[in-house]
Structure 1
Amino acid sequence: MDDGKMVRALVRAALGRALRCDPDRLPIGLKEEGGVLTLQGEVPDIAAKRRALKEAAAVAEVRRVADQLHVKPAVRMGDGAIRDHLRDALIAECAFQECAVRVRDRGTLESVRTPIGTVRGTIDVSVDDGVVTLDGSVPSLVHKRLAGALAWWIPGSRDVANALEIAPPEEDNDDQITEAIRAAHERDPLVDAVAIGVRTQSSVATLYGTATSEEQKAAAERDAWCTLGVDDVVSQIQVVPPTAPTRETRTA
């Protein structure tokens, strides 16, 4: 077995364990060239994408991983619809009220919102085959991560390339990641942010607390996976359905 085949076999086995599927039936293609391993294909969700990239990079024989993985969209949408949904989400989000928003339509960058008064950044949105690209600058890492989460929340998004710069620059750390996950939880209508805690260590986010349903728990976990810089998510959230009211309560 040549070196390239050996590396692909090792990675395929690691991906099979991470995604809990037969290594020979992975929805991921592997291409190795010049020490760079490229992962291609469409995976079920962002958690699978992040896990696949992490496991591939952990194989000692892999020098560098190139990401060409896309996520299967919850709803198939055209690029224009994805762009318009994200445009509206950015304009509605109060955290971006001092940021200009522009969208690329048919190759032309069009301004859709210019703040009155202080301008603290510009977010440029473009979409190509379901892949959202964010360019420009924002005032903090939390803003950058929140913009990325909003892009991931669009049902038709297949991937998000978040190239937003931070002006002025900030040093990234686990606390920044934790703050961004909390910001996403606070904005997610499916999540009770008060009931769910977050801590991050070495880019691994741990979620704890309670959720009233499996749907709410899954939404909180998804928000963490959508946060740029998160390598893994450990969920300790307990599902505690709301208690049914007693007869006395109902008749009070």
Structure 2
Amino acid sequence: MTGKNEDLRRNVLNELTWDPALDATHIGVAADNGVVTLTGHVATYAEKLAAEAAAKRVFGVRGIAEEIEVRPPYARKTKDDEIAERAVRILQWDVSVPADRITVKVEKGWVTLSGHVDWDYQRGAAAADIHKLSGVVGLINLIAVKPAIRTADVRKKIEDAFHRNAVLDAKEITVSAVDGTVTLSGRVRSWAERNAAERAAWSAAGVTDVEDRLAVG
């Protein structure tokens, strides 16, 4: 098993180094039976997220323990009120985000978003906007999805979407839906397949929450 662990660790390190979205100089990697631990520090929150995404792309990764710290390269940290002001402004500029329904709170560099939107992509777009801001060390996304339109056949629509998706092995995934909450269970071959299933589920009208219980491997 030691050899497999070392191969996986090396593959993750290579993927981190290859990714132009981050500087992996100060990131450490350990691997144990498919579980990868990322340590060290990066300059921005966006790089922290990029490192996690890069590790998930590596075949054989079944779980990730993410312990990377965000350490801005400049001595003077951005004040919370400055981050909050820029966060509000960037949300207002994004036409895909209903900024009037989102509240921003900043404490010690951690940004908390609350409020509600109609679609999950709007929730994701708001988070992506915050990822771009310097001085942010973490994000808590409490935005709720409250669709204006609900459909009775959510489960059928999601299953149809799975069958259309070339990435997914639909027969290995079970979908259940109660009101607007969708639960995915079964097994997928990779983190990419797991993410594709979750995105497809969120794309159905009427979905307010997705519980992803898919096993990887």
TM-score tier after normalising by the smaller chain length? 0.3 to 0.5
**Could you tell me the TM-score, scaled by structure 1's length?**
0.42
Please say which structure displays the higher CA radius of gyration.
1
